[in-house]
Amino acid sequence: MADTAASSYHHGDLPATMVRSALEMLDEDGDVELSLRAVARKAGVSSAAPYRHFPDRLSLLSAVAAVGYQELTTDLASRQPRPSTADDVAELAVGYVEFALSRPGLFRVMFAEGCDRTSPDRVAAVDAIHAYLGEAVGRIFQTDDPAALATGLWSVVHGLAFLHLDGKLDTTSTERVRARVRQTITALLSARIS
């Protein structure tokens, strides 16, 4: 006789299926509020099944955020495998903002929702993007504190992403968004103290 618990899943890897279903929900409607029950329904499993792998909503959001950080890192690295100029930094900023605008629901889960800071997958994904960006800053800029500079640059770009997402900056054309982000980063990096 088949194990009823295992046969009720209908999935070989329920955690991955749940994350994939959550990502699909976010891509379909960036304003959807993810709940374990809704994601289970989307995945086609019982509402109790997710609790075997995700004890609460926070743990599911952390798994989804980890995938988001991985995808963002992959996207940025594919645009600029080894950033080495200020122009490369501007292009990374464009990529970051475009990721936010193309995946608003996922971006908000990554940055506006609570997450489990001890989730190994999330921690590894965050560490990977920090390492990528930190190495770029170390290569490009002469500074006594590359980590602080990387945080400052990230803050500016992140702010641009949310200003665009929240409708505070014009998003009617991709070229306008790209131009504004490039101009902002270029102006910041070329400014001199008088």
130-189 pLDDT per residue, tens: 999 999 999 999 999 988 999 999 999 999 999 999 999 999 999 999 999 999 999 999
Per-residue pLDDT band for 7 (boundaries 50, 70, 90) equals very low
Sign of CA dihedral 76, 69, 47, 49: positive
* The predicted structure's pLDDT at residue 10: 52
Q: Could you say which of 1.10.10, 3.40.50, 2.30.30, 2.60.40 is the CATH number of the domain covering 1-55?
A: 1.10.10
**What 8-state DSSP symbol labels residue 50?**
G
Residue 4, pLDDT > 90, answer: no
Average pLDDT over residues 62-74: 97
How many CB atoms are located within 10 Å of the residue 61 CB?
Answer: 21
**Per-residue pLDDT averaged across 91-98, rounded?**
97
Confidence of residue 11 (pLDDT cuts 50, 70, 90): low
Q: Write down the pTM of the prediction.
A: 0.89
Please state the three-class secondary structure of the chain as a single string. CCCHHHHHHCCCCHHHHHHHHHHHHHHHCCCCCCCHHHHHHHHCCCCCHHHHCCCCHHHHHHHHHHHHHHHHHHHHHHHCCCCCCHHHHHHHHHHHHHHHHHCHHHHHHHHCCCCCCCCHHHHHHHHHHHHHHHHHHHHHCCCCCHHHHHHHHHHHHHHHHHHHHCCCCCCCCHHHHHHHHHHHHHHHHHCCCC
pLDDT in tens, 22-56: 999 999 998 898 999 999 999 999 888 888 889 99
CA 150 – CA 138 distance, rounded (Å) = 9
pLDDT in tens, 101-134: 999 999 999 998 888 888 999 999 999 999 999 9
Instruction: Return the CATH architecture of domain 56-190.
Output: Orthogonal Bundle (1.10)
| Residues carrying CATH 1.10.10, the chain | 1-55
Residue the block writes with tokens 């989804």: 64
Would you say residue 1 has pLDDT above 60? no
8 or 177, which is more confident: 177
Q: Which residue has the higher pLDDT, 72 or 112?
A: 72
Split at pLDDT 50, 70, 90, the class of 18 is very high
For the chain, give every residue range classified as CATH 1.10.357.10.
56-190
pLDDT at 98: 98
